[in-house]
Structure 1
Amino acid sequence: MARILIVDDSPTEMSKMAKMLEKSGHEVLQATNGADGVALARQEKPDAVLMDIVMPGLNGFQATRQLMKDPETSAIPVIVVTTKDQETDRVWAKRQGAVDYITKPVDEVLLFQTLKKALATKPASPRQPDA
């Protein structure tokens, strides 16, 4: 299954999403703010990132923009997961490079549909030459 990085400052939301993902066999990485999320994504190269918007310090829009501008992480799909449900937030998330947008409370079926779609569009890792 996939390695998913959750970036969210809410312990409750983090726990809910992690449980959903882990029971389906995904490996979960966690960061509680945008700066740590960017650093962890650069270090671990997860298959996808679930990014909250409203966080102290580096917010989710800024963190997504940093990930998309970095050649090391630009191919990692970012799905925004937030309580913000305005069309302007959706548009702004896409402009930062997010592939999709889900509002909280997170619907498990929608989360997995969105994640499956995002993982399907992720470019394959470069193949290593055979030895």
Structure 2
Amino acid sequence: MARILIVDDSPTEMFKLTEMLKKRGHEVLQAVNGADGVALARQEKPDAVLMDIVMQGLNGFQATRQLTKDPETSAIPVIVVTTKDQETDVLWAKRQGAVDYITKPVDEALLIQALKNALATKPASPRPPHA
């Protein structure tokens, strides 16, 4: 189905999200911090990114902003998946370019629906100009 990049520093959350996605036929890429997630997204061009917020170094807000503002990765929808449940966090994530926001513990049906919505509205990848 789709190639999904999970960016999360928790091995437990990584395992849970990976299992949810793989049993539905998705290919899963993994990064354990924001910087690695941004680099992997640029390299692999996944169909969507599931982004944690609270991580060492480059946090999820910063990584989301880098991905959504970079022409190379701006077409990749980012769904924030985090324990942070304040309305200000949701608003800030949307301002960084996230297309959806899910709080942990993750409801599997909610995650799958958010992914379907994100993939359905994903713009076509930009094509390089003809020479």
TM over 0.5: yes
Matched, 1:73 2:73: yes
Matched, 1:44 2:44: yes
Cross-structure match for 1:63: 63
Structure 1 counterpart of 2:2, one-letter code: A
Structure 2 counterpart of 1:94, one-letter code: K
- 2:53, 2:102 → 1: CA distance? 11
Cross-structure match for 2:94: 94
Cross-structure match for 1:33: 33
- 1:83, 1:45 → 2: CA distance? 26
SS in 2 for 1:74: coil
Matched, 1:2 2:2: yes
Matched, 1:24 2:35: no
- 1:126, 1:13 → 2: CA distance? 32
Over 3 Å counting, the alpha-carbon distance change for 1:65 and 1:107 in structure 2 is same
> What TM-score comes out, normalization by structure 1 length?
0.95
Contact map agreement 2:49 2:79 (CA 8 A) in 1: yes
> What TM-score comes out, normalization by structure 2 length?
0.95
Structure 2 counterpart of 1:36, one-letter code: D
- Please, what is the CA RMSD of the aligned residues? 1.2
SS in 1 for 2:106: coil
- 2:126, 2:42 → 1: CA distance? 17
Which deviations, in whole Å up to 9, do the C-alpha atoms of 1:102-123 show, x marking residues without a partner?
0000010000000000001101
SS in 2 for 1:39: helix
Structure 1 unaligned runs (5+)? none
Contact map agreement 2:75 2:125 (CA 8 A) in 1: no
